[in-house]
Amino acid sequence: MAKKFKVEIVTPEKLVFSEEVESLVVPAERGYLGVLAGHAPLLCALQPGEIKMIRDGAESWYTTSGGFMEIAGGKASLLTDSAEPAAEIDVARAQEAVQRAKERLAAPAKGVDRERAKASLDRAQNRLRSASKRKK
């Protein structure tokens, strides 16, 4: 059995995940990064994408909007604005978010923050991609 290590996924709202796993793959800025027990200390930025973990031999997938990961003291801590199990993504909600962001970008009204609309579009499209791959 592979050696385990602790992974915590934390958002401003809650502790999303806190378990021992055998492996972790995160969407780091320069591409997906794999982590096993005994990984050297590390601090890196995360981009929107999927987090994959193997726990007791079973895969679990989370969608993240990006943030940071710190590996220290044998533990991986992911600090992210949002993370949800890919299987629990509300597809209709993400489609509405895409629609809203596209309308804002297409016809920018006074007071519309384009960067904010683009970031919202990215988050929603990332959720849709993840849901289409992972939802049964």
Q: Is 94 in the site for ligand ATP (CB under 6 A)?
A: yes
Tell whether residue 23 is a contact of ligand ATP (CB under 6 A): no
130 part of the interface to ligand ATP, by CB under 6 A:
no
The contacts of residue 91 (CB under 8 Å, 6+ apart) are: 127, 128, 131, 135
Distances (CA, A) of 99 to 93, 94, 95, 108, 117: 10, 9, 6, 14, 11
Per CB under 6 A, does 90 bind ligand ATP? yes
Among 9, 28, 69, 89, binds ligand ATP (CB under 6 A): 89
Q: Are 81 and 45 in contact (CB under 8 A)?
A: no
Q: Which stretch binds ligand ATP (CB under 6 A): 22-30, 42-50, 67-75, 91-99?
A: 91-99
Strands 75-80 and 5-10 turn out to be parallel
Site string for ligand ATP, 49-88 (x = CB under 6 A): ----------------x---------------xx-x---x
Nearer to ligand ATP, 23 or 65 (CB): 65
Which whole-number Å values give the CA distances from 105 to 99, 110, 115, 119, 127, in the listed order? 10, 12, 9, 11, 19
Binding interface with ligand ATP (CB under 6 A): 13, 65, 81-82, 84, 88-90, 93-94, 97, 120, 123-124, 127
